[in-house]
Amino acid sequence: MTSFGNEPLFLGIDGGGSKCRAVLYRKDSGIIGEGLAGPANPVQGLERAQDAVLACASAALSDAGLSQSQLGHLIVGAGLAGVNAPRTRAAMLSWQHPFAQFYLTTDLHIASLGAHDGTDGAVIITGTGSSGFSQCAGQQRFLGGHGFPLGDKAGGAWLGLAAVQAALLALDNLGPATSLSQAVLAKTHSQDSTALMDQFCGQPSAPYGQLAALVFDEAAKGDAVAKAIVADGAGYLSNMVLQLTELGPIKVAFIGGLGGIWQPWLSDAAKARITPALQGPEVGAVIYAQQRYTGEHAP
């Protein structure tokens, strides 16, 4: 087994509703190990999230060739979905973890720290859902992230829901029958509104999210209904960019599966405030742990 003596070992964890990722970091060597585990959103199960964090840490140690006894020496920064809720945060912080230090924050916070390499900035995450976060001069702002179907506008599930709704209207002759509605029927192998309803009623966000690319494709071809849906989402995201940057002269990084697809559709004012992400959320979690640890151990 490898040993680094008294050198601090930092573990950065990015935990969400589908998976948990970790990177093991040493100042002089950079990333020396990585780990992957199951869901780590404590809102969906506190013990399951804690188990995922432990599994991720263990996997990262193994990947680095380190003994599991090193768990007690790890300085952990964890950005988890759901811990912006006070009760969830308190429950997670009461955990009797095995680490030397456990610094907890939100997944959005570490995403921003990673995207801007530890400096002030903002992020907008557009995947199946959507949310925004900014930090500037000690102030933070959270936008969106209210969950599907209540919110998450401009996320993949929202796009898919809008496409299904448009197809149902077209089938009832209450809305225009365009190439988008035909594409939805073809994609879902549905012949009528009953079949489409049966396929989607009561479904979570993921099946709707699978239709997101279809909306963008049809919009690019000029389909009027698809273009209207995309324009609505782009307007929402453009406004979010402007809201997030009200805190100060900061830039916004788009991350998530739809981030790059949305950018050409945004307003010119929003585009002017966008910058590429420099690092991933796991690295942002390492940065957060380093900042907290350094602050507590400053001479």
Is the pLDDT confidence value at 5 over 70? no
What pLDDT does 84 receive?
Answer: 87
Retrieve residue 277's tokens: 């992400």
Q: What is the CA radius of gyration of the chain?
A: 21
Q: Taken in order 132, 120, 298, 281, is the CA torsion positive or negative?
A: positive
What pLDDT does 17 receive?
Answer: 80
Is the pLDDT confidence value at 1 over 50? no
> With contact defined as beta carbons under 8 Å apart, do 19 and 281 qualify?
no
CATH architecture of 156-271: 2-Layer Sandwich (3.30)
User: Where does the pLDDT of residue 2 fall: very low under 50, low under 70, confident under 90, or very high at 90 and above?
Assistant: very low
For 80-92, how does the pLDDT look when each residue is reduced to its tens digit (9 = 90+)? Answer: 988 988 999 999 9
For 251-271, how does the pLDDT look when each residue is reduced to its tens digit (9 = 90+)? Answer: 999 998 999 999 999 999 999
Retrieve residue 205's tokens: 């966000």
Q: What is the mean pLDDT of residues 186-193?
A: 96
**β 121-126/252-255 pair status:** parallel
For 112-161, how does the pLDDT look when each residue is reduced to its tens digit (9 = 90+)? Answer: 999 999 999 999 999 988 999 999 999 999 999 888 899 999 999 999 99
201 C-beta neighbours (distance < 10 Å), count = 7
User: Where does the pLDDT of residue 298 fall: very low under 50, low under 70, confident under 90, or very high at 90 and above?
Assistant: low
Percentage of the residues of the chain whose pLDDT score is greater than 90: 86
What pLDDT does 299 receive?
Answer: 55
User: Where does the pLDDT of residue 3 fall: very low under 50, low under 70, confident under 90, or very high at 90 and above?
Assistant: very low
Output the CATH code of domain 9-117+279-296.
3.30.420.40
Q: What is the mean pLDDT of residues 269-287?
A: 97
Is the pLDDT confidence value at 4 over 60? no
Of the candidates 69, 68, 76, 67, which has an alpha carbon nearest to the alpha carbon of residue 24? 76
What pLDDT does 296 receive?
Answer: 75
Full strand arrangement of the beta sheet holding 252-255: 139-144, 130-136, 121-126, 252-255
Mean pLDDT of the chain: 94
What pLDDT does 115 receive?
Answer: 98
Q: Which sequence spans correspond to the domains of the chain?
A: 9-117+279-296, 156-271
Q: What is the mean pLDDT of residues 8-36?
A: 94
